[in-house]
Amino acid sequence: KESKKWVLMATARSPTNIAVIKYWGKRDETLILPVNGSISVTLEPSHLSATTTVAVSPSFDRDRMWLNGKEILLSGGRYQSCLREIRRRAEDVKDEERGICIKREDWEGLHVHIASFNNFPTAAGLASSAAGFACLGNVTLFMCSFCPCKLMNVKEETTELSSIARQGSGSACRSLYGGFVKWAMGNKEDGSDSIAVQLANETHWEDLVILIAVVCSRQKETSSTTGMRESVETSSLLQYRSQVVVPRRLIQMEEAIQKRDFPSFAKLTCADSNQFHSVCLDTSPPIFYMNDTSHRHVQLCFLIYCIYVHGEIRLIIGLVERWNQFEGTPQVAYTYDAGPNAVLIAPNRKVARLLLQRMLFYFPPPSEKELDSYVLGDTSIL
Ligand code: 2P0
């Protein structure tokens, strides 16, 4: 312990999640307490996730953090409050092999270095896409909570961890569980009942296939935090949504998930995404997350397909809506977060294949000539 040479490290991986009933708006910005509950699906960690390593050493003179190799400022209150919460709970940590022992009271005087990388295919550019940024933020902030917890030997239940993660980034608390997860808004002022709970585990509805259509690799113009604040201050639709619509939808969505009722699940998912974006438009000044943008690349993963599409965002919604109407019952669900990238959910592989065929028909992969131009010049899309 006297030597300044030792470094202790821990690594953990966190998946991201996609909300099907959206969180939008805080009633307490410091504790990150939402104006309504939300429900999400956690993606497989092997598909979209971040791996974070935390190191501690007496030779570190301050807390530092890197995202995908780039250092970011830790001056923001959120990182600090997460780290404070974790340090408060930290226990004795021993590495007997190396004769290192950190007592719980030592943690206050030790600094950490955190490095986080996402596993989104680099060529797919998801990491720098609008949705990618949102994912990355959520994942990373969550990892900021979990990873140091592991390192500092924090003995907390998942509920407690979800409350730490929540204070990093609201939606991150839902990534603590796999499967379907609800973040209850809670009523208490101290936020102790605003926690994530698992509604069903990852094996409950295994047939579902999620396809992510990446349409934009630019960072969004309005951050979720700022957007939410402005919506809470100016949108009357948000008040109606949070007080009347979402409480009802949460019950209906829980039921649809329990029963694996895809038509109800799809209707609720699409309706909630559309209402969330309506709230953004109802905000002053209005927020446009679903921009019409370009991109052209095809990247296929296993259960999650990331395809880069080129065209208007409305075309994707139109494609799904027309298909659903033609069949008379929802075949596919779509949902958009605070960015233009589409998340499409199919009830099984058979429908997912059809969906992929249609997507590739409307948004074909790049031509040889286009590929050449990417390789030769426009590296922003790679
Ligand atoms: C969600 N989003 O439920 C919604 C849907 C975006 C649209 O949670 O300010 O990054 O860190 O609590 O969690 C994005 O918001 O915001 C988000 P903060 P966060 O997934």
Q: How far, in Å, from the CA of 378 to the mean position of ligand 1?
A: 31
Beta partners for 7?
Answer: none
Which ligand 1 atom is the nearest neighbour of the CA of 38?
3
The CB of 137 under 6 Å from ligand 1? The reply is yes
Q: Where does the chain show beta strands of DSSP type E?
A: 8-15, 17-21, 26-28, 33-34, 38-42, 49-57, 64-67, 70-72, 93-95, 100-102, 111-118, 180-183, 196-200, 209-214, 297-299, 304-308, 333-336, 342-346
Q: Are the C-beta atoms of residues 122 and 132 closer than 8 Å to each other?
A: no
Q: What is the pTM of this model?
A: 0.85
Report CA(228)–ligand 1 centroid distance (Å): 9
Please tell me the distance between residue 149's alpha carbon and the centre of ligand 1 in angstroms. Answer: 23
Q: At what angle do helices 313-327 and 262-281 cross, to 10 degrees?
A: 150
What is the interface pTM, i.e. ipTM, of the complex?
0.98
Q: Judge if the beta carbon of residue 182 lies within 6 A of ligand 1.
A: no
Question: Which amino acid is it at 254?
Answer: E
Q: Please provide the size of the chain in residues.
A: 382
Q: What is the pLDDT along the chain (382 residues), one digit of tens a residue?
A: 456 689 988 887 777 888 999 999 999 999 999 999 999 998 877 777 778 888 889 999 998 988 778 888 877 677 777 788 888 888 888 888 888 888 889 888 999 888 887 765 443 334 333 233 334 455 555 556 667 777 777 777 777 778 888 887 888 888 888 899 999 999 999 999 999 999 999 899 988 988 877 665 455 667 888 999 999 999 999 999 999 999 999 999 999 999 999 999 999 999 999 999 999 999 999 998 876 543 333 333 323 444 444 445 556 788 888 999 999 999 999 998 887 778 889 999 899 889 988 887 877 766 777 666 655 544 444 3
